[in-house]
């Protein structure tokens, strides 16, 4: 028999003199005698390098040790620390004089062969697997089991299942040596919600106001439709900080939360008690400025907008000094004048009773000029497309407002993820310069519209392609087609619609936003051809009735600097030719007639919104005019006796339109939109009268996809498409309309790949045949709700449910509920 010195985990607690030498057979080990290790053999470990194990143990051949002793104890400690073994033993296998031969006998921890999850649906199991990150071959330690249990429980606790129970069972895998299977058994129980949030110790601020200050931790109430009442620890900790911020904003600078208590009141309900100590209420005292030479005390105090006796609010003080969202803070005053190296520190110099005196210490530094402007992250858009939009130019004085405006212009391009746009100023105090680096992340901007359907016994199809950020100069470079030449910010639109012979529509347009590359003057060229066939017969059939419109437009746009640089001016020449054949048009019938329309369009616009997809603030405004030549005033023809084909050989009219929208964020992600529209179609010569084309049709979703006869569609939700038309001109449309909209929007997700928001709306509008019959307050009213989703590939998609409170012309009952689908439209 061999002499055995078994040193396991308990050996760490044993002293060497507790182990006495024993003699078994011919092997004798004398306690306290020094032996030299003559050899070390490793057994029981087939998957680990034996030399590495010996090295980890700290034992080596030739080393002098005593048995038992510190060396063997330390060896076991070293091996246990690796967390690879289930059992460790050191044995004496042979003694030759002063030489001792050792065996380190190991039992490896089992490895994970597979695992299963019980008690959950397939979807939940898959989601939990992503969190656990377990894989075959992992060594199954007690720590792994504990971590698995905790991760699985936390996965459901954060979703409100506070009573979740997780059990991890280990069983041997009989098909593989030294392997185990883990069974993870989950019992979520009922989702636990917050029944009530109670505050104790608050006398100056009510429970209602304190609960309102909390963003995510809310009670289970019917009106909390946008927030869940589950308890999430991280959100709860953040909300406790917001409670203190609320107190601070009311002047309670010393307010603090003493303790809080979370306890169950039912199987699926908990209460939260929060104990607060308010402390005294403070007020601003004297505020003095130190170190300012560029601006006087009076100017700085006016910008600060805090008076002696105002309630002491540290967050408001910080906002007025550093971070006013509107850019009206003191730091903006300096940073917009080049003082990048400016520094400002508010110091409480005196606290007496409830009044706090402040001294604001300023180091103005020197003005900084811009050295280099670079951009990174644009792997598709060319540098010059980005740099030409920036307001920060090398050699100019540094201004923070120019950086903010530059970021806004990059957002308006639509080529980049607005959530990842960033800027890094890199100042150099020694030279008084700053390098500015803009960081962008490309996103898909081109859009595809592909629709198909079956109606009236035939297929209806639409194919639309919108290529944004196109590069015309690279069209003939084979390597640039990936899948299209891109990077120069140009736009190409191609669109085709058809349901066979009844209607067809084809259009193409090209826009160059920087004509010549030097100034932001845009060029737009478009062509289109539309056919409307009332009979569905071929055009050479004698019974054919139809209308075709062929047109082309050339437009030039420019950005203005006055009244401010948000304004743009667009001018265009448009030519249209209408060909009518036995086409009924409001009682007028043309026999192979032709109508020509050449007009001049001018639009003055202003766009100051912050985001193009979901604006939170800013204004959209357009005032446009469309004018044809007043030929009837000069050609001397008597129009009172002309038939329709001669009267409308050249269309005469002028059209004035105005629309404006305002966006205001009232709460985070919650925006109010107020909008108004007005349009008027007039004539130069009363004998000619208004043309039968270019009229207004109000009602419905506002989509113009299937409108081919020159009309303008004005959406009014809650009413059928094109049905709000004066009864006297119901066939050809009205000549004057107005419309008003009020929307409350809430952003659900701002993920660039799919931005989703809901809305509720109030809307009113009407359509009139002449200005003499105009009644601005006789409106068709509606209300409703809807949802929008914006995906870069498809544009804006959505649905609205609107209720019309008034009857459509010719009816007596209210319009009632109407459903409207939004496809491919953008803001």
DSSP letter string, 515-556: TTTTS-EEEEEEEEEEEEESS---TTSTT--EEEEEEEEEEE
Domain-ending residue, one of 51, 76, 108: 108
Please tell me whether residues 248 and 289 are part of one structural domain: no
Does 216 fall in a domain?
A: yes
- Asked, for residue 479, whether it belongs to a domain, the answer is no
In a domain, 152, yes or no: yes
Does residue 292 sit in the same domain as residue 268?
no
C-alpha distance across the termini of the chain, in Å: 90
Q: Phi-psi category of 314—alpha, beta or left, where left has phi over 0 and alpha has psi -120 to 50?
A: alpha
**Sign of torsion, CA 729 734 738 741?**
positive
- Bridge partner residues of 823 (DSSP): 797
Token output for 308: 């002696």
Are residues 216 and 154 part of one domain? no
CA distances from 744 to 4, 304, 764, 779 (A): 82, 33, 15, 21
Name the DSSP class of 305.
T
Tell me: do 234 and 323 sit in the same domain: no
Domains held by the chain: number: 5
Query: Are 272 and 312 within one domain?
Result: no
| Residue 608: closest CA among 599, 619, 598 | 619
Q: At which of 439, 465, 496 does a domain end?
A: 439
pLDDT value at position 12? 34
Burial of 516 (0-12, 13-18, 19+ CB in 10 A): exposed
Write down the H helix ranges in 351-420: 383-387, 400-413
Question: How many C-beta atoms surround the C-beta of residue 550 within 10 A?
Answer: 15
Cβ neighbours for 256, distance < 8 A, ≥ 6 positions apart: 244, 276, 277, 279
Same domain as 30, residue 62: yes
What are the phi and psi torsion angles at 11 (to 5°)?
-65, -20
Same domain for 101 and 31: yes
List, in order, residues 6 or more apart from 49 with CB less than 8 Å away: none
Q: What angle do CA 15, 20, 26 make, to 5 degrees?
A: 145
pTM of the complete model beyond 0.75: no
Three-state DSSP at 608 gives coil
Phi/psi of residue 193, nearest 5 degrees? -115, 165
Q: What separation in angstroms does the CA of 449 have from each of 244, 492, 614, 700? A: 51, 14, 21, 21
In a domain, 716, yes or no: no
Which CATH number does the domain housing residue 345 bear? 3.10.20.310
Q: Residue 17's pLDDT is what?
A: 30
- On whether residue 618 sits in a domain, the answer given is no
Same domain, yes or no: 292 and 345 = yes
Bridge partner residues of 147 (DSSP): none
Among 783, 409, 451, 361, smallest CA distance to 607 is for 409
* CA-closest candidate to residue 719, choices 782, 668, 669: 782
Unique residue bearing structure tokens 């979807």: 123
Q: What is the pLDDT of residue 450?
A: 62
**Residues contacting residue 606 through CB under 8 Å, at least 6 positions apart:** 564, 566, 567, 568, 619, 620, 621, 622
Domain encompassing residue 224: 193-277
The whole-number mean pLDDT for each consecutive block of 10 residues of the chain, a chain of 827 residues, reads 38 34 51 87 82 88 87 88 82 88 86 89 87 85 88 85 89 86 89 89 92 85 66 87 93 94 87 94 95 94 94 92 84 92 93 94 94 93 94 94 92 88 92 95 74 54 82 85 85 85 87 91 94 84 88 95 93 93 70 87 95 91 96 85 83 95 92 96 90 90 65 91 86 91 93 86 94 89 94 80 94 93 60
At 532 the pLDDT is 84
Secondary structure E strands in 629-686: 654-667, 670-682
120 and 98 in a common domain: no
pLDDT at 615: 93
Question: Does 220 reside within a domain?
Answer: yes
Q: Same structural domain for residues 383 and 337? A: no
Residue 506 covered by a domain: no
Is the Cβ–Cβ distance between 795 and 767 less than 8 Å? no
Is 697 buried (19+), middle (13-18) or exposed (0-12) by CB count in 10 A?
Answer: buried
Q: Are residues 273 and 200 in the same domain?
A: yes
In a domain, 242, yes or no: yes
Domain final residue, candidates 241, 261, 277: 277
Structure tokens at 355: 């009044």
């Amino acid at each position: 028999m061999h002499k055995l010195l078994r040193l396991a985990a308990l050996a760490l607690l044993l002293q060497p003199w507790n182990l006495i030498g024993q003699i078994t057979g011919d092997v004798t080990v004398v306690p306290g005698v020094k032996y030299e290790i003559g050899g070390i053999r490793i057994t029981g470990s087939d998957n680990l390098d034996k030399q590495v194990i010996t090295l980890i143990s700290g034992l080596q051949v030739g080393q002098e040790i005593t048995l038992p002793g510190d060396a063997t104890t330390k060896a076991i400690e070293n091996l246990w620390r690796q967390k690879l073994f289930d059992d460790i033993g050191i044995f004496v296998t042979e003694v030759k004089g002063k030489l001792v031969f050792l065996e380190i006998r190991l039992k490896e921890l089992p490895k994970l062969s597979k695992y299963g999850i019980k008690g959950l649906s397939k979807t939940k199991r898959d989601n939990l697997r992503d969190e656990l990150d377990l894989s075959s071959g992992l060594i199954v330690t007690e720590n792994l089991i504990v971590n698995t249990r905790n991760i699985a429980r936390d996965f459901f606790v954060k979703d409100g299942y506070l009573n979740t129970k997780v059990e991890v069972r280990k069983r041997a895998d009989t098909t593989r040596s030294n392997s185990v299977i883990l069974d993870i058994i989950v019992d979520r129980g009922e989702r636990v919600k917050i029944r009530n949030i109670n505050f104790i110790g608050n006398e100056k601020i009510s429970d209602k106001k304190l609960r309102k200050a909390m963003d995510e931790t809310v009670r289970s109430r019917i009106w909390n439709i946008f927030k869940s009442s589950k308890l999430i620890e991280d959100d709860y900790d953040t909300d406790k900080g917001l409670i203190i911020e609320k107190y601070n904003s009311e002047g309670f600078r010393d307010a603090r939360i003493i303790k809080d208590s979370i306890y169950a009141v039912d199987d699926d309900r908990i209460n939260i008690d929060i104990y607060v100590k308010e402390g005294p209420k403070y007020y601003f005292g004297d505020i003095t400025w130190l170190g300012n030479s560029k601006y006087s005390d009076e100017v700085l105090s006016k910008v600060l907008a805090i008076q002696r006796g105002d309630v002491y609010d540290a967050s408001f003080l910080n906002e007025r000094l550093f971070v006013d969202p509107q850019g009206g803070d003191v730091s903006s005053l300096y940073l917009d004048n080049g003082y990048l190296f400016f520094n400002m520190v508010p110091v409480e110099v005196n606290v007496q009773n409830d009044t706090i005196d402040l001294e604001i210490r300023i180091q103005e530094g020197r003005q900084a000029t811009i050295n280099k402007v670079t951009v990174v992250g644009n792997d598709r858009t060319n540098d010059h497309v980005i740099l030409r939009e920036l307001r920060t130019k090398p050699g100019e004085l540094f201004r923070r407002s120019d950086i903010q405006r530059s970021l806004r212009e990059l957002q308006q391009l639509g080529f980049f993820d607005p959530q990842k746009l960033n800027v890094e100023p890199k100042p150099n105090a020694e030279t008084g310069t700053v390098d500015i680096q803009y960081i962008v992340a490309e996103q898909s901007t081109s859009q595809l519209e592909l629709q198909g359907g079956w109606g009236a016994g035939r297929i209806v199809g639409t194919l639309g392609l919108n290529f944004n950020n196109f590069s015309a100069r690279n069209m003939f470079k084979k390597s640039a087609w990936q899948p299209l030449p891109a990077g120069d910010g140009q736009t190409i639109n191609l669109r085709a619609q058809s349901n066979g012979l009844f209607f067809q529509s084809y259009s193409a347009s090209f826009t160059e936003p920087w004509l010549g590359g030097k100034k932001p003057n845009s060029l737009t060229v478009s062509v289109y051809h539309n056919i409307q066939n009332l009979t569905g017969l071929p055009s050479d059939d004698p019974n054919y009735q139809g209308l075709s419109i062929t047109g082309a437009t050339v437009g030039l746009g420019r950005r203005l600097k006055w009244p401010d640089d948000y304004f743009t001016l667009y001018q265009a020449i448009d030519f249209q030719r209408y060909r009518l054949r036995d086409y009924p048009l409001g009682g007028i019938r043309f026999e192979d007639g032709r109508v020509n329309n050449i007009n001049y369009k001018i639009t003055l616009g202003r766009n100051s919104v912050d985001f193009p997809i979901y604006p939170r603030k800013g204004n959209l405004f357009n005032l446009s005019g469309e004018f044809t030549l007043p030929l009837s005033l000069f050609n001397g023809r008597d129009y009172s006796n002309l038939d329709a084909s001669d009267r409308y050989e050249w269309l005469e009219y002028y059209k004035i339109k105005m629309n404006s929208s305002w966006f205001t964020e009232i709460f985070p992600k919650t925006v109010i939109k107020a909008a108004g529209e007005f349009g008027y179609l007039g004539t130069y010569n009363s004998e000619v009268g208004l043309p039968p084309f270019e009229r207004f049709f109000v009602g419905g979703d506002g989509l113009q996809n299937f409108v081919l006869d020159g009309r303008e569609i004005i959406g009014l939700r809650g009413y059928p498409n094109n049905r709000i038309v004066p009864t006297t001109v119901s066939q050809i449309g009205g000549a004057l309309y107005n419309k008003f909209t009020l929307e409350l929007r809430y952003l659900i997700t701002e993920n660039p790949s799919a931005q989703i928001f809901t809305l509720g709306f109030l809307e009113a509008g009407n359509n009139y045949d002449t200005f003499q019959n105009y009644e601005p307050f006789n409106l068709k009213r509606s209300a409703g709700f809807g949802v929008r989703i914006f995906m870069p590939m498809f544009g804006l998609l959505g649905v609205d449910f609107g209720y019309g409170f008034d009857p459509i012309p010719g009816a007596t009952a209210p319009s009632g509920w109407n459903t409207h689908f939004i496809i491919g439209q953008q803001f």
